[in-house]
């Protein structure tokens, strides 16, 4: 029962949202540990799944959050098709790599 499960999948998906996290300053927590400052970060939430139909959308989908570059963020909007590489583990889906789908690369 304590077996480690890990499987990598490459699936198509669509962008659900995109957002930016503001930079943070260095600070000390309650324990006295110094937490380093972080620069501005860019994120995209993506719905990925194996089976897609026009009537029902994605069946058995996962929602995964990817940290991306500023350039990538400027090239995507809601419902942009993407190809996502995710790693499934005992603890859920983990983001690995995100790319624009081939048809869109020619336009962008």
Domain ranges of the chain: 6-107
The residue among 33 and 58 whose pLDDT is bigger is 33
The residue among 92 and 76 whose pLDDT is bigger is 76
Among the CATH numbers 2.40.420, 2.40.160, 3.30.70, 2.40.50, which is that of 6-107? 2.40.50
Query: Tokens representing 31?
Result: 């324990």
64, exposed or middle or buried, with CB in 10 Å at 0-12, 13-18, 19+? buried
Residues 84 and 13 sit within 8 Å (Cβ to Cβ): yes
Q: What is the pTM of this model?
A: 0.76
Query: Tokens representing 13?
Result: 């998906």
Q: Encode pLDDT of 27-41 as tens digits.
A: 999 999 999 999 999
């Amino acid at each position: 029962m304590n077996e480690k499960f890990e499987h990598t999948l490459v699936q198509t998906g669509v962008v659900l949202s995109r957002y930016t996290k503001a930079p943070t300053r260095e600070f000390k927590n309650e324990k006295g540990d110094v937490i380093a400052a972080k620069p501005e970060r860019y994120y995209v939430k993506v719905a990925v799944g194996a089976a897609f139909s026009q009537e029902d959308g994605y069946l058995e989908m996962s929602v995964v959050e990817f940290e991306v570059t500023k350039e990538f963020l400027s090239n995507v909007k809601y419902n942009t098709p993407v190809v996502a590489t995710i790693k499934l583990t005992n603890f859920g889906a983990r983001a690995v790599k995100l790319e624009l789908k081939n048809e869109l690369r020619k336009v962008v």
